[in-house]
Amino acid sequence: MNKKAVIKKGNINFREVKKFEEISPHWWNVEGKFKPLHRINPLRLDYVLEKTNGLFSKKVLDVGCGGGIFSESMAKESAEVTGLDMGKKLLKIARLHALETGVSVNYIHSTVEAHACKHTGIYDIVTCMEMLEHVPDPFSVVFACSKLVKSDGHVFFSTLNRNLKSYLFAVIFAEKLFKIIPEGTHSHRKFIRPSELMRMIDRTDLQVSGIAGLHYNPVTDNCRFSSSVDINYIVHCQKF
């Protein structure tokens, strides 16, 4: 397998950063523009808790943390959480909300690649939720995550599959018809097929331990796990 080190410090899509910064004031409105993210967050947390046997006192890195929804939920499970993002306005929102709720999270303005250069192998758990499809080179992020986690540690990637069904549900229905997320949130061509993500992971020291589909129904407002990975899916990896 080719495990050549690829660390790209400039792996940033500034249009994507700006796009999310412009809607950052809505981040913590549970019935607003990020409603699906709030609904699916407990499902992601349950998956991480199950695969890691809990987060108590574990050192966790949340890559692409945005306004801190997932970071805060892990910190509430007594994890020592660091959140990374390139959106300064997003991090401001995250820090303010953490102050309001009394949750301790260390938020850092940095790319994961730059962070990996200085913090190799220090995290028990690394999470990267809905971020890979927003960067120019997703493999660079995957590789950096593999460098940041300890041996016997866990890494989680959540992203969107690229097919006709995901285009219909994640773009046409969610953005244009139901308008449950802001239009322009997703670029279907940047979605990542599970087979493509597996090939990226194979080029690192990580090994895939599990994969599950995550489904949100906007009509019933319910989320559930599924054996189908046609739209959203989450991958659990371990470093041996």
Tokens 């660091």 label which residue? 82
Question: How confident is residue 52, by pLDDT bands cut at 50, 70 and 90?
Answer: very high
Question: Would you tell me how many other CB atoms lie within 10 Å of the CB of residue 175?
Answer: 16
User: 145-202 pLDDT, tens per residue?
Assistant: 999 999 999 999 999 999 998 878 777 877 777 677 777 777 888 999 999 999 999 9
Whether the predicted pLDDT of 3 surpasses 80: no
Give the pLDDT of residue 1.
Answer: 44
User: 181-190 pLDDT, tens per residue?
Assistant: 777 777 888 9
Domain assignment present for 4: no
195's enclosing H/E stretch is: helix 194-202
Is there a contact between 22 and 158 (Cβ–Cβ < 8 Å)?
no
Annotated ligand binding at 64? The verdict is yes
Domain assignment present for 104: yes
Annotated ligand binding at 129? The verdict is yes
pTM, two decimal places? 0.91
**DSSP for residue 133:** G
More confident residue, 16 or 49: 49
**What are the residues whose beta carbons fall under 8 Å from the beta carbon of 158, sequence distance 6 or more?**
44, 127, 128, 129, 130, 214, 232, 233, 234, 235
Q: Which SS3 state, helix, strand or coil, does residue 187 take?
A: coil
Annotated ligand binding at 44? The verdict is yes
Domain assignment present for 5: no
CATH of the domain at 108: 3.40.50.150
SS3 for 52-89 is HCCCCCCEEEEECCCCCHHHHHHHCCCCEEEEEECCHH
Give the pLDDT of residue 9.
Answer: 57
Annotated ligand binding at 85? The verdict is yes
CA dihedral (122, 124, 128, 129) in degrees, to 10, reads -150
Domain assignment present for 134: yes
Which residues form the domain of 38?
14-239
Q: Could you tell me the CA-to-CA distances from 133 to 30, 59, 151, 162, 238 in Å, in that order?
A: 23, 25, 26, 10, 21
Domain assignment present for 215: yes
> Looking at the 3D structure of the chain, how many domains does it have?
1
Q: Could you tell me the CA-to-CA distances from 101 to 72, 74, 104 in Å, in that order?
A: 9, 14, 9
Domain assignment present for 45: yes
Q: Establish how many alpha carbons lie within 13 A of residue 223's alpha carbon, considering only the half-sphere containing its beta carbon.
A: 19
Domain assignment present for 8: no
Separation between Cα atoms, residue 74 and residue 49, nearest integer Å: 9
Give the pLDDT of residue 179.
Answer: 73
